[in-house]
């Protein structure tokens, strides 16, 4: 299976606002995404879960809303009607923020094609997973709006491979880190072989050597590391040969029109 180029029509470096501008607004809310756009970020990174209402993908990072809203119920067990009443901004900074989890298509309709969006599939299932099928269906239904504006990634290479068979035109990325929540056999990026992905998203600490010339540590796949909030570290990652970065602080990333742009 041939690889798809990573957003070839977008200027470099690629700047993905992590869960939106999550340093200034509640993560994974329309407010955080709009803040990133207002600050000039080229792209967004977000996370999606299935929920109990058929056909709906909810933009949320954790399995529950315990961290962001004090609600410990599992996202997959909640209906969309229940989810839309949850205030995930209640625990952000001064507690006065308001924000509800959006549906995936709401975000894509609002921000594509003007911005590019990396959709992370949040799932632990190895087979029979409805999430990649539904993500592919939503992306295809939006047609030209998402063409050349969407990528899909996951820690779960099986989910990623399933998505790729249903939506082969969208570039995909294997994500990894050495964290204890990641299965040991996936902590060094071996999931890229299962997923047959087009680019890679390692935690930045696992980037140790230059990635250029084109034959890199990952067989020529572009790299977009996470999560980088320091401009100096961002510059270092770009000098190593990364195509872009994922950051909580797009407001601090100012690369101008220098050597990294093309």
Instruction: Look up residue 48 and give its two tokens.
Output: 């999606």
Measured in degrees and rounded to the nearest 5, phi and psi for residue 167 equal -145, 65
Q: Cis peptide before 165, with omega less than 30 degrees from 0?
A: no
pLDDT of residue 1: 63
pLDDT of residue 94: 72
| Residues whose CB falls within 8 Å of the CB of residue 249, separated by 6 or more in sequence, listed in order | 21, 23, 229
Digit-by-digit pLDDT tens for the chain (262 residues) are 689 999 999 999 999 999 999 999 999 999 999 999 999 999 999 999 999 999 999 999 999 999 999 999 999 999 999 999 999 988 887 766 778 999 999 999 999 999 999 999 999 999 899 999 999 999 999 999 999 999 999 999 999 999 999 999 999 999 999 999 999 999 999 999 999 999 999 999 988 766 654 445 678 899 999 999 999 999 999 998 899 999 999 999 986 433 334 3
Closest by CA to 157, choosing from 114, 117, 205, 193, is: 193
Provide the residue ranges of all domains of the chain, joining segments of one domain with +. Answer: 14-63+103-252
> CATH homologous superfamily of domain 14-63+103-252?
Phosphatidylinositol (PI) phosphodiesterase (3.20.20.190)
Closest by CA to 32, choosing from 80, 94, 74, 88, is: 88
pLDDT of residue 76: 97
pTM over 0.75? The answer is yes
pLDDT of residue 133: 97
pLDDT of residue 261: 41
Closest by CA to 124, choosing from 76, 52, 56, is: 76
pLDDT of residue 88: 94
């Amino acid at each position: 299976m041939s690889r798809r180029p990573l957003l070839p029509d977008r200027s470099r470096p690629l700047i993905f606002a992590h869960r939106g501008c999550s340093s200034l607004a509640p993560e994974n809310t329309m407010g955080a995404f709009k803040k990133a756009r207002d600050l000039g970020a080229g792209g967004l990174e977000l996370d999606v879960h299935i929920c109990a209402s058929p056909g709906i993908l909810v933009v949320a990072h954790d399995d529950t809303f315990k961290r962001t809203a004090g609600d410990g119920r599992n996202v997959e067990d909640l209906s969309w009607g229940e989810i839309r009443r949850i205030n995930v901004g209640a625990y952000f900074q001064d507690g006065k923020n308001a924000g509800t989890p959006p549906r995936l298509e709401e975000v894509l309709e609002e921000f594509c094609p003007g911005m590019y969006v990396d959709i992370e599939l949040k799932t632990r299932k190895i087979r029979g997973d409805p999430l990649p099928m539904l993500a592919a269906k939503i992306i295809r239904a939006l047609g030209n709006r998402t063409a050349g504006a969407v990528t899909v990634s996951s820690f779960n290479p099986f989910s990623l491979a399933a998505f790729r068979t249903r939506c082969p035109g969208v570039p995909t990325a294997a994500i990894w880190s050495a964290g204890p929540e990641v299965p040991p056999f996936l902590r060094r990026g071996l999931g890229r072989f299962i997923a047959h992905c087009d680019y890679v998203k390692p935690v930045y600490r696992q980037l140790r050597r230059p990635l250029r010339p084109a034959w890199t540590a990952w067989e020529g796949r572009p790299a977009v590391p996470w999560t980088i909030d320091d401009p100096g570290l961002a510059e270092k990652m770009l000098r190593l040969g990364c195509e872009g970065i994922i950051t909580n602080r797009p407001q601090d990333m100012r690369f101008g029109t220098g050597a990294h742009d093309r």
